[in-house]
Amino acid sequence: MQSDSAKCLADIFMNNPFTKREDLLKCAAEYPDFYRDKDLQSERQLMALHEKVHKRRAPHITRSEPLDIAKWKWPGGAVAIHCVENTDDEVETISAVSFNQENEWLRIAGLTTLKGVGWPMASVILHFAHPQEKYPILDVRALTALGLSDQKYTGRFWVEYTNYCRNICEEFHVTIRELDQALWAKGANMAGRRKLTKVPRHPVEEHQTE
């Protein structure tokens, strides 16, 4: 017999927060409005992670790469200060073993054995290292869009949430990055987060007249 929480999740995962593809892409287009330009640049650099990972003989991340993720996702430094405690061998070996797992639960759980890598960080690593496999990011703003801001992270929830996001990507023909940005922006708007006011670098171009 299902618990009330399990039934609640089942009901949520039966619904799509976006009525059509255009709605999802509209939310995704708002995502940059919440970030500073330098943070968006850091994110673009992370999107090249999968190429680096899969060029290596045994796909893995290096010691510096979790630090790059931590500085982007948690710029306050609280996560990075723990990630730096991992050795080169620990990061490369543990990530290689984790990436080789076929079981989704074991794949993310293995990464959490690294210092500074909890469920959210592990999900970010999988998100950028394996974009074709469509791993979502565990983030309170994205989960707020689904009414799950207080959700506890477990292996069962991770598998269900991952499958849910993969289904939306397939239904609307979008990338997992586009879906993550759309959920994040939708959740940020629901929580009343302010967008940043950005000044264009070249707001006016002077035109010569004859």
pLDDT, tens only, 24-65? 999 999 999 999 999 999 999 999 999 999 999 999 999 999
**204 found inside a domain:** no
Side-chain half-sphere CA neighbours of 72 within 13 A: 22
Model confidence at 192: pLDDT above 60 = yes
The angle, 0 to 180 degrees and rounded to 10, between the axes of the packed helices 155-172 and 104-111 is: 120
Share of the chain above pLDDT 70, in %: 89
Domain that holds residue 74: 4-190
pLDDT for 207: 39
Residue 29 lies in a domain: yes
> In which band, very low, low, confident or very high, does the pLDDT at 12 lie, cut at 50, 70 and 90?
confident
Report the domain count for the chain: 1
Task: Please state, in angstroms and rounded to a whole number, the distance separating the CA atoms of residues 4 and 10.
Answer: 10
Alpha helices in 113-175 (DSSP H): 119-129, 140-144, 155-172
Per-residue confidence (pLDDT) for residue 8, from 0 to 100: 64
Percent of the chain at pLDDT exceeding 90: 82
207 within some domain? no
Q: What value does the mean pLDDT of the chain take?
A: 90
Let me know if residue 52 belongs to a domain.
yes
State the pLDDT confidence band at 210, using cuts at 50, 70 and 90.
very low
198 in a structural domain: no
Judged against a pLDDT cut of 50, whether residue 209 lies above it is answered with no
Asked if residue 209 is part of any domain, the answer here is no
Could you identify the residue written with the tokens 């620990």?
A: 90
Q: Rounded to an integer, what is the distance from CA 91 to the centroid of its chain?
A: 20
Is 134 within a domain? yes
Q: Is the pLDDT of residue 76 over 90?
A: no
118 occurs within a structural domain: yes
Lowest pLDDT segment from 8-12, 125-129, 200-204: 200-204
Q: pLDDT tens digits, residue range 141-182?
A: 999 999 998 999 999 999 999 999 999 999 999 999 999 999
